[in-house]
Structure 1
Amino acid sequence: MLLNLLLVGLTVSTAFAQRDEAFEEYLRQQEEAYEAYKEEVTKQYQEFLKAEREAFKKFQEEVERKWLKFIGSTEKDWVEYRHNLNVRTKVDFEKGEAWVEVLVNSDPQEEVARLKQAVAELVNDRGTTSDYEVRMPDGTVDVPKPLSDEPVLSRQLRTSDGKPVTEENAEVFASEVVREPYIKREEVVGKDGKRRTKLSVRFPLVPDHLRVRAQKYADLVHQYASKFQLSPPLVFAVIHTESHFNPKARSPVPAYGLMQLVPTSGGRTAYRYIYKEDKVLPPSYFFVPRNNIELGCGYLHYLRTRIFRGIQDDRKAIYCAVAAYNTGPGNVARAFAGKGSLKKALPLVNRMAADEVYDRLRRKLPYRETRKYVEKVFNRMPLYRDS
């Protein structure tokens, strides 16, 4: 009897062992498949980046053939080229100034008329998500799309008598700003060797242009701040600091859009976190405000609830998450533990008061840019308490 029980027990334990081995093998296969998939996605994105760089270089060379010097969109500047690259507009959303430039080789009266036309067109310009087409790894083409459903400068310009500039009075506004004392003329010799005359004019946006742009995105900010358990003023302050609410913001990294997401890091992590899918996202995806704000808020939530989940106080965790949004979790860990080890850093954070954590980040983060970034974000939050 005892022998029979031992045999039964041995058989059962062997069966369990075999089942565990099979399960472990299944997990190993799944992990290998996922790693292979990640590598393929990364490879695809590298191919896209190469194609994107080549398209950008070609576009830049075409601009320089006429203008000599290339100007493109940045974190704070919105730049567009129109009319076969003969018109260039630039809006500095930090300073609240707009520039309109045209290349001409005609008579003086036509020159001024073309400059007025370019100003009127800027008033109604909805922008584009890109200045050129890029072929994606899957064979599709990422084509430029409208940047905004309404004019990018809507409610940010006024006539001399204080009226908002709209499509109806755009020509009146253009006549006011394109006047001889304000027109700048200079000769430009492009890289094609041709001499052209450049006419330009500069004019200000309304004093509260930043508030006007922020209000455009208020519904989206509140929607995704609520979804990801964030303070709306925090999200507004992050967008303010990242892009000054420039919908075509682009950094050299490159990071894209309102919340300046990098497709290969924060953007990819956020998309996988929200949608449970790892995929290549083109820049045009990040220039859609809804997409950008959703991923930006999702990434902040991921940092707060996954990376810094070991921080017991929410205020301290938010300080660290905002710093990591700009510089990465490893550099945040270095501010506390001297090395990029979260395991060592988090207990130290938990032993500090919230104000001490904030002060430590402002003083000890490895890069000055991030130290200033943390200050700017939290100093700007009060601007959006009523937004």
Structure 2
Amino acid sequence: MKTNFKILALLISVSLLTACPGSNNRKTDKDYYVKDTNAFNILISQYANNIEEIWGPKEVLIAGPKDYVQYEDNLQTRVHINFVSGIITIETLSDTPIENLKEAIVSTLLMPEPVDIIRRDKISQNLSEEPFLYNQVLDQERQPIRWSGRANSFADYLLANNLNVRSSGSHNITYVEIKLVANHINQRARKFLPLVTEAANRYSIDERLILAIIEVESAFNPYAVSRTDSLGLMQVQQHTSGRDVFIFRGKSGEPSRQFLLDPRNNVDIGTAYLSLLKTKYLAGIKNPISLRYAMITSYNGGAGSVLRTFSDDRNEAIKIINSMTPQQVYRKLVTSHVSQESRNYLVKVSNLLGNH
């Protein structure tokens, strides 16, 4: 992601659920996409300016797909979860740091599953449900945290033993860090495995491929919103892959942000797009391993650029791919594809699958 910022506040992604116009009065798909993306970037910039005024220029934090942030107390307190490093940082500028940090720690440990946050249609979390971070954080007794009593006890422990202060410009920032468990990625993956299995069976896509793509795209962060406005676990874009799937299903328009930030919908649309790549855009590639390499690279950079790596003529490109071994196809894509990002993407996903 080409940006100087690190964290995107969830407030931005939620506010954008209804911020942009629908499909009416659209001149062209391209014009609408540019306009919509520009509006998204303007909103991020405005929000970043507000953060800079309070925290200082070196403390502006904007999210990538693998980071979550929540600002509270009129932007005085913030929570950052890095889903790659497995570190939760909760920090505040407040004159009453203990009070503000404790409230933020408890609310973070007990934050509900993402669908409840995004929909905002439930007054409180169902007590039968586990918090989103359940089993990803263990308290001072090495126990998972489900109820408020244990969350408050752990918060008190952290504030008594792990409280730190750092200086940034004219500010003193008080903070605590919480480490997620070593296998936190697997813990999150288990939460979404039923959705992945369901989609894999529905669209005849390898379950392992879906899981590998989710890990590379978002590290199983269901709140993920990128600077290019890709959304959710599988980083689906409304105006490209989302629209393609809707058109294939005979629907007009495109999925909304709110729709795509629901993990079930996101996995369904992302897997449906993989199926489109397999059965339509890349149809004709005979070797299943070569096809998988083409699908992975296409998921990141589009099927057209994959085929043009071999020939500007689609039929000729398919013919060339079919004349090559899977290893030759892989090597060609990771050395000659026009996009370095797509080349790296194929390597990362294939490494997770472990069979190239």
Is the TM-score greater than 0.5?
yes
- Residues 121 and 327 of structure 1: CA distance in aligned 2, closer, same or farther (over 3 Å): same
Q: Secondary structure at the match of 1:234?
A: helix
Are the structure 2 counterparts of residues 179 and 64 from structure 1 closer, same or farther at C-alpha, using a change threshold of 3 Å? same
Per the alignment, do residues 173 and 277 of structure 1 end up closer, same or farther by CA in structure 2, a change over 3 Å counting? same
Cα 1:222–1:181 shift into 2, 3 Å:
closer
Q: CA deviation at 1:285?
A: 2.2
Percent identity between matched residues is 26
Q: For residue 217 of structure 1, what is the aligned residue in structure 2?
A: 192
For residues 44-84 of structure 1, the C-alpha deviation after alignment (integer angstroms, 9 at most, x for no partner) is 66555455444433333322221223212211111111232
1:1-387 paired onto structure 2 within 5 Å: 39=27, 48-68=36-56, 69-105=59-95, 110-126=96-112, 151-167=131-147, 168-179=149-160, 182-186=163-167, 197-273=172-248, 275-337=249-311, 339=312, 341-381=313-353
Mapped partners of 1:125, 1:172: distance in 2 = 16
User: How far apart are the structure 2 equivalents of 1:91 and 1:285?
Assistant: 23
Whole-angstrom distance in 2 between the partners of 1:152 and 1:212: 10
Task: Mark the runs of 5 or more structure 2 residues left unpaired by the alignment.
Answer: 1-23
Shift of 1:38: 7.4
Q: Is the 8 A contact 2:165 2:172 kept in 1?
A: no
CA drift of 1:311 comes to: 1.2
Higher-Rg structure is 1
Q: For the structure 1 residues 55 and 38, does the alpha-carbon distance in structure 2 shift closer, same or farther, using more than 3 Å as the test?
A: closer
- CA drift at 1:153: 1.6
- 1:292-340: CA deviations, max 9, x gaps? 1011001110011001111122222221111111111222123223x4x
Q: How many residues are paired up?
A: 323
Between the aligned partners of 2:25 and 2:284, the Cα distance in structure 1 is 30
Tell me by how many angstroms 1:150 deviates: 5.1
What is the deviation of 1:144? 6.7
CA shift, 1:98, in A, is 0.7
Q: Distance in 1 between matches of 2:75 and 2:230?
A: 25
In structure 2, the CA distance between the partners of 1:292 and 1:143, relative to structure 1 (3 Å rule), is closer
Deviation at 1:268? 1.4
Q: Which amino acid aligns with 2:53?
A: R
Counterpart code for 1:206: V
| Aligned mates of 1:145, 1:45 — CA distance in 2 | 29
Q: What is the CA deviation profile of residues 256-277 of structure 1, one whole-angstrom value per residue up to 9, with x for unaligned ones? A: 111111222112112222x311
User: Displacement of 1:218 after TM fit?
Assistant: 0.6
Per-residue CA deviations over 1:334-376 (Å, capped at 9, x if unaligned) read: 3223x4x322211001111223222222222222222221122
2:99 is matched by which residue type in structure 1? A
**Contact 1:128–1:145 (CA under 8 A) maintained in structure 2:** no
> Are the equivalent residues in 2 in contact too, given 1:41–1:280 (CA < 8 A)?
no
Cα 1:47–1:157, aligned 2, differ >3 Å: closer, same or farther?
same
| Cα distance in 1, alignment partners of residues 217 and 90 from structure 2 | 25
Amino acid at match of 2:105: V
Q: TM-score, normalised by structure 1?
A: 0.75
1:170-229 Cα offsets, whole Å, 9 max, x none, are 11211222235541243565xxxxxx5421121210011000000000111000111111
Q: Is the 8 A contact 1:241 1:376 kept in 2?
A: yes
RMSD (Å) for aligned C-alpha atoms: 2.9
Question: Matched residues in 2 for 1:197 and 1:183: separation?
Answer: 10
Q: Separation in 1 of the partners of 2:241 and 2:191?
A: 24
Structure 1 spans left out of the alignment, 5+ residues: 1-35, 132-141, 190-195
Aligned 8 A contact 1:80 1:127 in 2: no
- Shift of the 222–143 alpha-carbon distance from structure 1 to 2, 3 Å rule, reads closer
Instruction: Please say if residues 41 and 278 of structure 1, whose CA atoms lie closer than 8 Å, have aligned partners that are also in contact.
Output: no
> Closer, same or farther in 2 for the Cα pair 1:143/1:54, shift >3 Å?
farther
